[in-house]
Amino acid sequence: MTDRDERRGFASMDEQRRREIASEGGKASHQRGRAHEFNSEEARMAGRKGGQIAHQRGKAHIFSSEEARTAGRKGGVEVSRDREHMSAIGRKGGERARDAQEPDNARQDRQDSQNRRRAEARS
C-alpha cells in the first residue's frame, strides 16, 4: 500500500456519493443552527463571483438565443406581477418623457407647485 496513486477516502468515492455526504453535513449544520445564512447581498456577491470564475475557466453555460429569450420572458412575467413596482416604473418613465419636452422654467414651476401641494397636505 505504498503506491501514492491509490485513491482512498473521499477520493475513492464517486461524485454522487460525495455530494450525498456533503448534503448530509449541510443539513446537520442547519438543524444545529450553525450554518451560515446568506443575506441577499452576500448571495448576490457569491453568485457573481461564481459566474466570473466559471467564465474564466470556460465552464460557464452559454445560452442559446432561445434559452435567453425564455429566461427573459420568465423574468419579465415575474416582475410584471408586482403592480407597485410596475406603477413606479411607468410613473418614472412618464416623468422623464414630460421633462424632456418642457422647458426648464416650466419644469421648475411644476415641481414648486407639487412641493407646495405636498406641504399643504401634510399640515
Which residue range is the domain that position 93 belongs to?
Answer: 77-123
Span 26-50, mean pLDDT?
A: 89
Tell me whether residue 115 is in a domain: yes
Judge contact between 51 and 60, C-beta under 8 A: yes
Indicate whether 37 belongs to any domain. no
Q: Is residue 98 part of a domain?
A: yes
Cell of 94: 412618464
- Give domain status of residue 84, yes or no: yes
In terms of pTM, does the model score above 0.75? no
- 25 has a pLDDT exceeding 80: yes
Q: Is residue 8 part of a domain?
A: no
Helices assigned H by DSSP within 1-123: 15-32, 40-57, 65-80, 83-101, 104-122
Residue 53 lies in a domain: no
Per-residue pLDDT tens digits for 64-102: 999 989 888 888 888 788 888 888 888 888 888 877 776
End-to-end CA distance of the chain: 87
Is 99 inside a domain boundary? yes
